[in-house]
Structure 1
Amino acid sequence: MNRTTPFDMVGGEPAVRAIVDRFYDLMDEDPAYAELRALHAGELDPMRHSLTGFLTAWLGGPRDWFVDNPGKCVMSLHGAIAVTAQTAQQWADAMQRAIAEHGAAQGLEADFSTKMADALRNMASAMIRKERVPA
């Protein structure tokens, strides 16, 4: 049985890595994402690696991120961060741009890119809270 996953459709791990790298480059370089950038450590390489692993698994690729982070989920990992509506919006906008740029360059169907970005926007919106969640 031939099964095509979103991971396959996006272009596998190299494509996921390219999207994540573009996302963090946008966050690091575009002043529109300054509040979001301020929530992150100075060195982004560990985050690039982690988000690539998470998105790889989330899209149906190898589940190494979940094996390496047993019992953890994206929501719980962000509980210690006061995610505001504005920073969630910045995250979603930067991710949407990264996905759209990759999709256009790789010939992905616009509908696929939009659905992927929308699902991640919903995830970011679900993390909005007024204050940090105690550990």
Structure 2
Amino acid sequence: MTAAREEATPASAFARIGGHPAMRAITERFYDLMEQDPEFAELRAIHAPDLAPMRESLPLFLAGWAGGPRDWFERNPGKCMMSMHAPFPINRQTAEQWAVAMNRAIAEAEVADREVAEAMADVLSRMARGMARE
């Protein structure tokens, strides 16, 4: 790719937000909130006792979803968030708790581009609320 073409290519949301460090910070704060804040108790209850696998997986998903490395998608071919969450009892309340916790995690994380972070929070919140089956 030529230098001129490289300059014309906009940076991905993943790059603009701060790459893997930002995605990990968001994920860690999100799961810390879920584990420590009683506001998210119902959400926490529908998750596995050990959140370590999710703490490892979510930042990889977010990275690929935001235009960064697609490692999560390559490891999970043909999977989508809706089908992966189908077995869980997601109602409006737990979907809202997820959205609120993720918004707080993103708002509290150090990111390189706050505008991209806020847009990401908005889209993820809408996705979460769309998973409610009640």
Same structural fold, with TM-score higher than 0.5 when normalized by the shorter chain:
yes
Letter in 2 for 1:52: P
What residue ranges of structure 1 are gaps of 5+ in the alignment?
131-135
Conserved 8 A contact 2:16-2:112: no
- Residue 108, structure 1, aligned to residue 113, structure 2: yes
The secondary structure found in structure 2 opposite 1:62 is coil
Max radius of gyration: which structure?
Answer: 2
| Distance (whole Å) between structure 2 residues aligned to residue 63 and residue 107 of structure 1 | 21
- Following TM superposition, the consecutive aligned residue runs of length 4 or more in structure 1 with deviations greater than 6 angstroms are none
CA spacing shift, 1:67–1:107, aligned 2, 3 Å: closer
TM-score, normalised to structure 2's length?
A: 0.90
Letter in 2 for 1:20: T
| Distance (whole Å) between structure 2 residues aligned to residue 67 and residue 107 of structure 1 | 26
Conserved 8 A contact 2:95-2:132: yes
**1:125 deviation in Å?**
1.1
Conserved 8 A contact 2:30-2:104: yes
Paired residues in the alignment total 127
Match of 2:3 in 1: none
Residues 55-134 of structure 1 correspond to what in structure 2 (within 5 A)?
A: 55-102=62-109, 105-106=110-111, 108-109=113-114, 111-130=115-134
TM-score, normalised to structure 1's length?
A: 0.89
Report the RMSD for the aligned CA atoms in angstroms: 1.2
Q: Does 1 or 2 have the higher relative contact order (CA < 8 Å, sep 6+)?
A: 2
What residue ranges of structure 2 are gaps of 5+ in the alignment?
1-5
